[in-house]
Structure 1
Amino acid sequence: MDSNKLIESFAEFARSKNIDKPTVIRILEDVFRSIILSRFGYSDNFDIIINLDKGDLQIWRFREIVEDHAPDVAVPTKIALREARKIEADFEVGEELSEEIKITDFGRRTVLAAKQTLIQKVQELAKETLYEKYKQLIGCLIVAEVHQLLSREIILLDDESNELFLPKAEQIPKDYFKKGAYVRAIVHKVELYNTLPRVILSRASPLFLERLLENEIPEIQDGLIAVKKIVREPGSRAKVAVESFDDRVDPVGACVGIKGTRIHGVTKELQHENIDIINYTDNLELYIARSLSPACINRVVQMSERIAVYLDSDQVALAIGKGGQNIKLASKLIGKEIDVYRDNAADPKEEDIPLSAFSETIGPWVVEALHKIGLDSARSVLSLPKEVLEQRVDLEKETVDEIYAILHQVLSG
């Protein structure tokens, strides 16, 4: 293989990997200087000239001409007069001999090994470049094209044809993709998998919702409104706490927009996820009340690890939400577990019985388990839907059914 074909083929390969010209030239110089060093034992007196546009490679060797029996005649940068005159008859001592080294002089095997080394170096550099690029983009919103649909993940391509991965767990449950479609997601993390960089995207992360809000709401972009916290059940419901730094700007109204125009684009991207925008406050009781919207609470009792919230009977179901979703998201937003109780003080006729009275009937270990999640009376248990109690306490469905039957029977008798 001659030098022109080698340089052209390598330059084309480097371009396919989006490696810039200066980097390609540096790699070529490093590889050929290594070959020179291996062949001649010294490389400082060699010039390597590369023209990628023309596919040219020139290697020049420079040596000083010395007397045949000079003490330093064996130095790599010197050449004996007798040897120099074999190249050109009128050379004299003290002159510099420059000679071009052809790539074919290194032998076919060395050239093929050089080509393989060049390709390997470009591949390593491309992997490193990809890793560093996306490491800096973690948390950023990007758009990529769906390339392949697999059972556990979707492979997408960026604008440089790099493969990106959207795992099933990072998709919104209602997401449906077609090959060739363009998808918005955030860069979730970058992993090294068998030395290969693996870029993981996410549409289920709270950050994805935050980036969408930043795109849709100018006040967030301008820093007038800050997103304090986001909690999500992807594709189903989310709660977003926002705060305004300008008294003239209503953060909730600005985020929702007139007739919901601003939030509509976000909910559509999230497969119509129901988004509650909440005005953040340092007043914990008020913050809890807002987080449990649409329920109206009567009072809040703060404990070290948990928070007890008391509501009228008709508000309990609203506070808990379908499948316990509302209270679960509110707890995440506040950062503490919230327990919901019927407020007997609001209805003194409504009798209640401590759970301790049922120790022999439903078992002391069951009573203890219920106490651990803040339930201390019969009506506090009955205020929760059965499915919520099953989720919060490690009890069988049959046990929960039995507990509810016993408590109902005692309170109604």
Structure 2
Amino acid sequence: MAITSANQLELLQTAEAVAREKMIDPILVIEAMEESLARAAKSRYGADLDIRVSIDRKTGRARFTRVRTVVEDDLVENEKAELTVAQAKPYLDEPKIGDTIVDEIPPVELGRIAAQSAKQVILQKVREAERDRQYEEFRDRAGTIINGVVKREEYGNIIVDVGRGEGVLRRNEKIGREAYRNGDRIRCYIKDVRREARGPQIFLSRTAPEFMAELFKMEVPEIYDGIIEIKAVARDPGSRAKIGVISYDSSIDPVGACVGMRGSRVQAVVNELQGEKIDIIPWNEDPATFLVNALQPAEVTKVVIDEDANRIEVVVPDEQLSLAIGRRGQNVRLASQLTGLDIDILTEEEESKRRQAEFEERTRLFMDTLDLDEFFAQLLVAEGFTSLEEVAYVDLDELLTIDGVDDGTAGELQARARDYLEEQNKKALQKARDLGVEDALVEFDGLTPQMLVALAEDGVKTLEDFATCADWELAGGWTTVDGARVKDTGLLEAFNVSLEEAQNMVMTARVKLGWVSIEELEAQAAAESAGGDDDDADDDEEAEG
């Protein structure tokens, strides 16, 4: 097939038709044609030649050219596509490195094989362009709801026709035991869009918490307008869900707006989610208040938060325990997901027993160490004293507030407490030295003899050993493993050493050893502070936006 004037315009018409059908830029189709013709010409004239084809965008005329590039004398690798400065002088007046010599060559006639090869190149390029267009289109729609038609089922996964592409609703992203037939209409959340070799992969979901949030946005105009915001969503897909909402207009009740007249708005969401029961909860920035709301319908009598461990302890009446936990732990699990806290639920009876055990343990401590009778030891515990250190070093006036305690009694109490602590410190220090703790670590500020023993028993016996410790190794912390929070016990956690205190001690040790300088630490702190300010500024800009 020769490219004659008779079919020059046909090239442009073909490009336009393909571009319209695939909804891509006609220029991409023409570029694919140029590449395919260039390959065909190389098979005719030689693969070593640098042959290029340009198709006139108005007339459709294909111009075949051979290009040779001027390179340095010792860099010529392909004599048919490269030449030296001396070799280029007959063609150029003053040739320079990088100049090109372009010669027009006769068009090629495409045989059957060449034509088929050209067709494959064009189809491949068109497919790539179509995939790029699909990826760009659906990438921008990630995080939104899309309507589609069920096309087929593959190994439990549903293939959904979403218009100009196909989405995959995986088995674990379906609600409960949902079953679909070919041709059924389906509404899904676009969870992720990935560019892969076989084309863009659109992953759909009906179990994602964001799906419920987007459904409420569609049903509740106040959410769409930004008057009400969904702050948190927790779902047990197909069974039950909790959603935390807040209103930025004091005249609008966020729960009532989401429920709608006679429950019309929430019912529309429930119907879409196969009857999933939804608890709509007013959000509160105070974690304790929000948790009390989240555990509804159970009543809560007391809440204790451990911010360091990101845990919260909830006390409920004895008869409310099963309601608070819910069927198979569903209620407390959803409340935990909603608040982002690990929740421990106790009954009032269990909490009372625990407090009684703590009271008895502290009473026994004061009786044994301070040689007190039970009544006097109970007085100390009742006044809030929990340790010998508090008794030994508290301001004397605090001891005098206890009934029956005068100056002499208070002084005697503190003397006994200090004597006992000093004796324990001496024993602990001797044990630490027996374990091999070096003087440099013994003399390090901030470490008590008991701490030295705990470190030595774990192999930390020198200042160098201590300086290599991470702050979390000393203070302890929490790590998330497979979605579950796992406790990391710190070497000094039993002594109530905070993460910040541990970090300061480790850095001080490194400065003492000369590993880092104070100037370097100050510069690092200044940089981190500046970075934090920038983040705050960005957050403010986003909030204003």
Q: TM-score, normalised by structure 2?
A: 0.52
Residue 323 of structure 1 deviates from its aligned partner by 1.1
Residue 260 in 1 paired to residue 275 in 2? no
Match of 1:26 among 5, 28, 31: 31
Contact 1:185 1:208 survives alignment (8 Å): yes
**Identity, % of aligned positions:** 33
Cα 1:103–1:286 change in 2 (3 A) is same
Partner Cα separation in structure 1 for residue 154 and residue 62 of structure 2: 50
Deviation string for 1:258-288 (max 9, x for gaps)? Answer: 2111111101000011111111111222111
Residue 319 in 1 paired to residue 315 in 2? no
Residue 176 in 1 paired to residue 179 in 2? yes
Residue 118 in 1 paired to residue 122 in 2? yes
Greater relative contact order (Cα 8 A, min sep 6): structure 1 or 2? 1
3-state secondary structure, aligned to 1:297? coil
3-state secondary structure, aligned to 1:131? helix
Amino acid corresponding to residue 161 of structure 2 in structure 1: L
Matches within 5 A, 1:371-382: none
Q: Which residue of 1 aligns with 2:224?
A: 221
Deviation string for 1:187-240 (max 9, x for gaps)? Answer: 111235554332110000011101101100000111101111111011111111
Contact 2:36 2:117 survives alignment (8 Å): no
Matches within 5 A, 1:328-407: 328-344=333-349
Q: Which residue of 1 aligns with 2:55?
A: 48
Partner Cα separation in structure 1 for residue 65 and residue 355 of structure 2: 102
Q: Which residue of 1 aligns with 2:254?
A: 251
Cα 1:76–1:42 change in 2 (3 A) is farther
Amino acid corresponding to residue 249 of structure 2 in structure 1: D
Cα 1:341–1:71 change in 2 (3 A) is closer
Matches within 5 A, 1:225-240: 225-240=228-243
Partner Cα separation in structure 2 for residue 171 and residue 113 of structure 1: 44
Q: Which residue of 1 aligns with 2:275?
A: 272
Deviation string for 1:89-120 (max 9, x for gaps)? Answer: xxxxxxxxxx9x5552x544333222111111
3-state secondary structure, aligned to 1:317? helix
Deviation string for 1:136-185 (max 9, x for gaps)? Answer: 2211111111000234200111222x221101100111423221111111
3-state secondary structure, aligned to 1:164? strand
User: Which protein is richer in strand relative to its size?
Assistant: 1
Amino acid corresponding to residue 131 of structure 2 in structure 1: K
Q: Which residue of 2 aligns with 1:404?
A: none
Contact 1:36 1:42 survives alignment (8 Å): no
- How many residues of Structure 1 are paired with residues of Structure 2 in the alignment? 320
Contact 2:139 2:193 survives alignment (8 Å): yes
Residue 126 of structure 1 deviates from its aligned partner by 1.9
Q: Which residue of 2 aligns with 1:150?
A: 154
Cα 1:291–1:48 change in 2 (3 A) is same
Partner Cα separation in structure 2 for residue 354 and residue 35 of structure 1: 90
Partner Cα separation in structure 2 for residue 241 and residue 324 of structure 1: 19
Partner Cα separation in structure 2 for residue 289 and residue 62 of structure 1: 78
Q: Which residue of 2 aligns with 1:368?
A: none
Amino acid corresponding to residue 159 of structure 1 in structure 2: G
Q: Which residue of 2 aligns with 1:199?
A: 202
CA RMSD of aligned residues (A): 3.5
Q: Which residue of 2 aligns with 1:140?
A: 144
Amino acid corresponding to residue 254 of structure 1 in structure 2: A
Partner Cα separation in structure 1 for residue 323 and residue 265 of structure 2: 26
3-state secondary structure, aligned to 1:177? coil
Contact 1:58 1:102 survives alignment (8 Å): no
3-state secondary structure, aligned to 2:61? strand
Cα 1:77–1:280 change in 2 (3 A) is closer
Cα 1:268–1:62 change in 2 (3 A) is closer
Where in structure 1 are there 5+ consecutive unaligned residues?
64-69, 80-98, 356-391, 393-413
User: Which protein is richer in helix relative to its size?
Assistant: 2
Q: Which residue of 2 aligns with 1:163?
A: 166
Partner Cα separation in structure 2 for residue 72 and residue 212 of structure 1: 70
Contact 1:10 1:118 survives alignment (8 Å): no
Partner Cα separation in structure 2 for residue 59 and residue 200 of structure 1: 43
Amino acid corresponding to residue 121 of structure 2 in structure 1: T
Partner Cα separation in structure 2 for residue 227 and residue 120 of structure 1: 45
Contact 2:144 2:214 survives alignment (8 Å): yes
Residue 49 of structure 1 deviates from its aligned partner by 3.1
